[in-house]
Amino acid sequence: MKIISYNVNGIRAAMRKGLADWIKSESPDVLCIQETKAQPEQIETDIFNKMGYFCFFHSAEKKGYSGVAIFTKMPPDNIVMGMDNEKYDAEGRVLRADFGDLSIVSAYFPSGSAGDIRQDFKMEFLADFQVFLDNLRLTRPNIIVSGDYNICHKPIDIHNPERQVGVSGFLPEEREWLDNYEVSGMIDSFREFDKSGDNYSWWSYRTAARDKNLGWRIDYHWISDTLKDNLASARILSDAYHSDHCPVEVTIKL
Residue pair 105/147 in contact (Cβ under 8 Å)? The answer is yes
In three-state secondary structure terms, 101 is: coil
DSSP H or E run through 248: strand 248-252
User: Which of 14, 133, 41 is CA-nearest to residue 6?
Assistant: 14
**Residue type for 36, please?**
T
Can you tell me whether residue 225 is helix, strand or coil?
A: helix
Phi/psi at 119 (nearest 5 deg)? Answer: -65, -40
Q: Give phi and psi for 35, each to the nearest 5.
A: 55, 55
The Cα 129–Cα 29 span in angstroms is 26
Task: Compute the distance between CA of residue 75 and CA of residue 3 in angstroms, rounded to an integer.
Answer: 15
Is 148 catalytic? The answer is: yes
Q: Which of 46, 77, 128, 148 is labelled catalytic? A: 148
Measure the CA–CA gap between 243 and 14, rounded to whole angstroms.
Answer: 7
Radius of gyration of the chain (CA): 17
Catalytic residues: 148
